[in-house]
Amino acid sequence: MCSGVAILRDKLTDPLILRHELGWRLHDRSLDHSGRFEARFMFAERRPQLPVVHDGQLVIYEWGMAFEKNRKCFRVGYCKEEGLRADNWRYLKPEPVVIPADYGFERGVWFAIVEGVRGIVVRDEQERPHVFVLTQPSTHYYQMMTKRDREPVLVEQVI
């Protein structure tokens, strides 16, 4: 899986930061506090969001959707690539997107991402867009690094 992503600050526009109040997400990644800022997006947040390139524009969408089952509410933010290929999501009319990320995060480990993470966007009954991270079975290296059996599908990159 991938429980968080970070995108370098210089890839975000000021209007986008202001419109989505992203200022609190900015962290200085540099060890010497030289101001190499990035915006971090974590799935564990109360209202998780992700940056997405959709229809050629960088936007911010809600990460996943909340569902209720047996009076318990749970959030789903991932889509298995195998399930997408098997058309399990077809009724939701998923649209492929790229999540522009420079780093991914899982179980305390940050890892570099070259181009981004593949995802899908689906719309809820009110036509609000929600983004889901595509996952695939982990490579041996990713599994050793994060102890997870699934990893994000990266654009033109294997970990």
Res. 19 pLDDT band, cuts 50 70 90: very high
Domain membership flag for residue 159? no
The predicted structure's pLDDT at residue 153: 97
Query: Tokens 């889901």 correspond to what residue?
Result: 132
The predicted structure's pLDDT at residue 159: 82
Q: Would the pLDDT of 122 be above 80?
A: yes
How many Å apart are CA 149 and CA 158, to the nearest integer? Answer: 15
Res. 36 pLDDT band, cuts 50 70 90: confident
Domain membership flag for residue 62? yes
Q: Would the pLDDT of 155 be above 80?
A: yes
The predicted structure's pLDDT at residue 64: 96
Looking at the DSSP bridge assignments, the partners of residue 66 are 75
Domain membership flag for residue 19? yes
DSSP letters for the chain: ---EEEEEGGGS-HHHHHHTT-GGGEEE--TT----EEEEEETTSSS-EEEEEETTEEEEEEESEEEEETTEEEEE-EEEHHHHHTTTTGGG--EEEEE--SEEEETTEEEE-SS-EEEEEEE-TT--EEEEEEEEEPPHHHHHHH--SEEE-BTT---
Query: Tokens 């981004």 correspond to what residue?
Result: 116
The predicted structure's pLDDT at residue 74: 78
Query: Tokens 């909340």 correspond to what residue?
Result: 66
The predicted structure's pLDDT at residue 81: 96
pLDDT tens across 37-70, in order? 999 999 999 999 999 999 999 999 999 998 777 7
pLDDT tens across 98-108, in order? 999 999 999 99
Domain membership flag for residue 129? yes
Domain membership flag for residue 98? yes
Domain membership flag for residue 158? no
Among 23-27, 64-68, 75-79, where is mean pLDDT lowest? 64-68
The predicted structure's pLDDT at residue 30: 81
The predicted structure's pLDDT at residue 77: 95
Number of structural domains, the chain?
1
The residue range of the domain holding 146 is 4-152
Domain membership flag for residue 96? yes
Q: Would the pLDDT of 73 be above 80?
A: no
Res. 140 pLDDT band, cuts 50 70 90: very high
Domain membership flag for residue 157? no
